[in-house]
Structure 1
Amino acid sequence: MEIQIRMDCPAPGLDAQKIKVRAKRVLKDLACHDKELSILFTDDEHMAALNRQYRGKEGATDVLSFSMLEEPDGDLSPDFESIMLGDVVISVDTALRDAEELEQPFEETVERLMIHGILHLLGYDHEKSSLDAIRMREEEERLIAQFEKP
């Protein structure tokens, strides 16, 4: 299992090695221990450009996911054998604002966004229905709780 972390902008207090360890733990828990993952930390300007280019939406967002397992119609490929799971892109600027608004540590906000992005790579989609949103939120909570265990 290989996790690549790239920092395109400063992320104060963020430990890239710890994020990598946590990402590995999430992938292992989701039975993706043989997959590779890329996580990019960027700023709002770059995130807004990606959001516009790939989703047709204006402005920055907190996290984007680009699955290597997804078919053009949005469904997961039956060929789950691809070793590369995909890319998760996190806006440091938005994560910092979210952390302040939620009154939680920046690192915890980033971990939640990472989990959210990984779940999207695996086909979870909170925008399809309220039931899917609940299912995704429950899985996020279950996975974040794993970090509290030794």
Structure 2
Amino acid sequence: MGCPEAELSISIVGDRTIRQINREYLGRDKATNVISFAMQEGEFGQVNPDVLGDVVVSADTAAREAEEGGEPFFSRLCFLLLHGILHITGYDHERSGEEEARRMEKREQEIFTVLKGEGLLEL
């Protein structure tokens, strides 16, 4: 992803906490699966270029999604973490249209396939 020496903060929380974060920072009063905060964006984005940002994943939502999708919990958790990291590194599926959403999904699948191939995730 082009940031081998960068710092990243990862928090795994429950639905109550991610809902609170979502409400406070994004104005959405609901739990979600992952939220990312990029530190290299905005007016002060270059203050510390080695800090990518924060990724917050809800373990509760990940568990529900894993069960609904018939996949292992750890795989779903890792996928959500990957999704959040891609957001921090410039990928966007929400505001940039369908082409960017496809580009992000393709990159997610490429990286996830490598992780599975390396035996780092349950199949």
TM > 0.5 between the two? yes
Which blocks of at least 5 consecutive residues in structure 1 are unaligned?
A: 1-29
Name which of 98, 104, 119 aligns with 1:130.
98
Q: Alpha carbon RMSD of aligned pairs, Å?
A: 1.7
CA distance in 2, matches of 1:80, 1:112: 29
Give the partner amino acid of 1:32.
Answer: C
**In 2, distance between residues paired with 1:130 and 1:80?**
32
CA distances 1:31-79 after superposition (whole Å, capped 9, x unpaired): 211101111000000100000111111110000001111115xxxx884
1:147 corresponds to which residue? 115
Query: How much has 1:124 moved relative to structure 2?
Result: 1.0
Q: Provide structure 2 residue ranges, at least 5 long, that are not aligned to the other structure.
A: 119-123
User: How many Å separate the matches in 1 of 2:80 and 2:99?
Assistant: 20
Q: Structure 1 residue 59 and structure 2 residue 36: aligned?
A: no
Q: Secondary structure at the match of 1:148?
A: helix
> Conserved in 1, the CA contact under 8 Å of 2:39 and 2:45?
no
Structure 2 Cα separation of the partners of residues 60 and 109 of structure 1 = 16
1:81 to partner: Cα distance: 6.3
CA–CA separation in structure 2 for the residues paired with 1:80 and 1:127: 26
TM-score by length of 2: 0.89
Cα separation, partners in 2 of 1:93 and 1:144, compared to 1, 3 Å: same
TM-score of the pair, normalised by structure 1? 0.73
Q: How does 1:38-53 map to 2 (within 5 A)?
A: 38-53=9-24
Moved >2 Å (runs of 4+): 77-81
1:98 aligns with 2:65: yes
CA distance in 2, matches of 1:131, 1:81: 31
| Separation of aligned partners in 1, 2:116 and 2:12 | 24
Identity of aligned residues (%): 40
Partner AA of 2:109 in structure 1: E
Residues 104-138 of structure 1 deviation map (CA, whole Å, 9 limit, x = unaligned): 00000011101100011012110121111111100
How many residues of Structure 1 are paired with residues of Structure 2 in the alignment? 117
